[in-house]
């Protein structure tokens, strides 16, 4: 039988291996058509010792240090193995392992709770801002602009566009380890403008809700818009560490226009990416996560948007008008409930034909030249655009109420949303984002 020992391994440890990892192991050995049967066992044995598998290892809550020590000892006995990154907050580490060493770990390390495949993660404004009722919001005789609030955009990076000049106050690159802000894909730059562009290159025509907010670019996706569970987790962890070292100028908001198909682990809190966004939430950072672009089918909410705590943002089509009469949920916007039967998304924001910042010569700029608007802008659609628009509105609330908790802000957004008569909450959430109403909430 092809891959017999792989099958035995998966059967013996199925409860500790997530579904994608089980599939990866079972498909590790695919014999050539002309390979004699008597050689299959030998070839399979070679692959088990040589082929690297990227994984996330989760330990029991009180067994992180001991578990890391034990798996390190096992890895040191095998070539092509090693721990890459530790996430002590959630008792996890990322590693490259071979099937042989993984099997030994599962047999001998009692502190291992579950092992996940380090799966792939992908990147999922003229009338948009008025449609979200986020233009010229005035409270206490002050026009709210997000001034003094910091938004971290976890994405493909941020190009230093004129519309965000002087406001990119930090940059971390987990893909190419560069130190100066850049964006070789273009998606993150667009998202940064959706939230906080000031429109200076367009006579302020294409401005985001929070045109004076500070930005931090956290690059976790490559030039094609792809990353991994590991790089996204590194990005969130970095934001938490940043706040621990910058008590006076913390990250207030994380905008995540990315995700991967949700896997069923029994409950959403067992998902490693959900664990970390909820750590950020508990630390006082408001997390806005994209619902995903897999609509109109039900149960298509992506991870980490499946979290019951963070603000999960779907997209509506404002039809290029500021009024509500013709608005409707975008057909591509992912629908709930989540795979854990939690009602999602939480709210809808504009996400169709959004004009925002262009990153010249980036992947999107080169391959979608028809999407260029004037010289400095670009048009895109998706819950990827709706999410930072929501993050920009959150920045206005944070400016008005600096000490508000993430849960308070989420509740104000939900209470202030424009309701849709007879709406299905698994399509519309609480309704359409309305900054004016939300900032009136007590």
Residues known to be catalytic: 155, 187, 384
Report the 10 Å Cβ neighbour count for 8: 12
Q: Which of 84, 26, 96 is nearest to 54 (CA)?
A: 96
Q: In what order do the strands lie in the sheet with 377-380?
A: 354-357, 377-380, 372-373
Distance of CA 140 to CAs 121, 144, 252, 412, 439, Å? 42, 10, 21, 18, 12
Q: Which of 199, 166, 338 is nearest to 266 (CA)?
A: 338
User: By the 8 A CB rule, do 308 and 429 touch?
Assistant: no
Q: Which of 190, 144, 126, 135 is nearest to 318 (CA)?
A: 126
User: By the 8 A CB rule, do 253 and 398 touch?
Assistant: yes
Label residue 152 exposed, middle or buried (CB < 10 Å: 0-12, 13-18, 19+).
buried
The C-alpha atoms of residue 91 and residue 235 are separated, in whole angstroms, by 17
Helix axes 99-108, 37-50, angle to 10 degrees: 70
DSSP lists the bridge partners of residue 218 as: 154, 172
- Which ranges in 197-299 belong to alpha helices (H)? 229-245, 272-282
The C-alpha atoms of residue 311 and residue 236 are separated, in whole angstroms, by 16
Label residue 191 exposed, middle or buried (CB < 10 Å: 0-12, 13-18, 19+).
buried
State how far Cα 434 lies from the chain centre: 23
Tokens representing residue 273 in the block:
């990416």
Based on its alpha-carbon atoms, the radius of gyration of the chain, rounded to whole angstroms, reads 23
Distance of CA 232 to CAs 174, 259, 268, 272, 408, Å? 9, 9, 17, 10, 26
């Amino acid at each position: 039988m092809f891959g017999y020992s792989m099958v035995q391994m998966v059967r013996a440890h199925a409860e500790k291996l997530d579904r994608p990892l089980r599939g990866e192991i079972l498909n590790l050995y695919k014999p050539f058509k002309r390979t004699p049967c008597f050689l299959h066992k030998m070839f399979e044995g070679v692959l088990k010792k040589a082929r690297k598998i990227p994984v996330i290892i989760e330990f029991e809550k009180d067994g992180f240090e001991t578990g890391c020590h034990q798996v390190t000892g096992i890895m040191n006995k095998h070539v092509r193995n090693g721990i890459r990154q530790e996430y002590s907050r959630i008792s996890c580490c990322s590693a490259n392992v071979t099937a042989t060493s993984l099997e030994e770990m599962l047999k001998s390390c009692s502190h291992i709770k579950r092992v996940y495949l380090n799966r792939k993660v992908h990147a999922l404004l003229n009338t948009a801002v008025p449609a979200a009722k986020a233009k010229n919001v005035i409270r206490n005789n002050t026009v709210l602009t997000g001034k003094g609030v910091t938004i971290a955009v976890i994405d493909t990076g941020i190009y230093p566009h004129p519309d965000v000049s002087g406001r990119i106050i930090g940059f971390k690159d987990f893909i190419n380890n560069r130190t100066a802000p850049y964006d070789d894909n273009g998606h993150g730059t667009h998202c940064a403008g959706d939230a906080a562009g000031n429109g200076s290159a367009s006579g302020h025509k294409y401005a985001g809700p929070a045109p004076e907010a500070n930005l931090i670019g956290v690059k976790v996706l490559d030039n094609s818009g792809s990353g991994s569970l590991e790089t996204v987790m590194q990005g969130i962890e970095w934001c938490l560490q940043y706040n621990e070292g910058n008590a006076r100028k913390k990250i207030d908001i994380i905008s995540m226009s990315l995700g991967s198909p949700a896997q069923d682990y029994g409950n959403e809190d067992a998902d490693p990416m959900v664990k970390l966004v909820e750590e950020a939430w508990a630390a006082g950072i408001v997390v806005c996560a994209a619902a995903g672009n897999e609509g109109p089918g039900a149960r298509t909410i992506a991870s980490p948007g499946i979290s019951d705590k963070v603000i999960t943002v779907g997209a509506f089509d404002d039809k290029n008008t500021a009024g509500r009469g013709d608005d409707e949920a975008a057909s591509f916007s992912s629908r709930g409930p989540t795979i854990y039967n939690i009602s999602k998304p939480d709210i809808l924001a504009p996400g169709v034909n959004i004009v925002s910042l262009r990153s010249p010569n980036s992947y999107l700029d080169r391959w979608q030249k028809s999407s260029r608007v004037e010289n400095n802008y670009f048009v895109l659609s998706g819950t990827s655009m709706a999410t930072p628009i929501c993050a920009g509105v959150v920045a206005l609330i944070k400016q008005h109420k600096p000490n508000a908790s993430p849960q308070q802000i989420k509740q104000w957004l939900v209470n202030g949303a424009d309701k849709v008569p007879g709406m299905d909450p698994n399509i519309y959430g609480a309704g359409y984002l309305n900054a004016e109403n939300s900032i009136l909430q007590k």
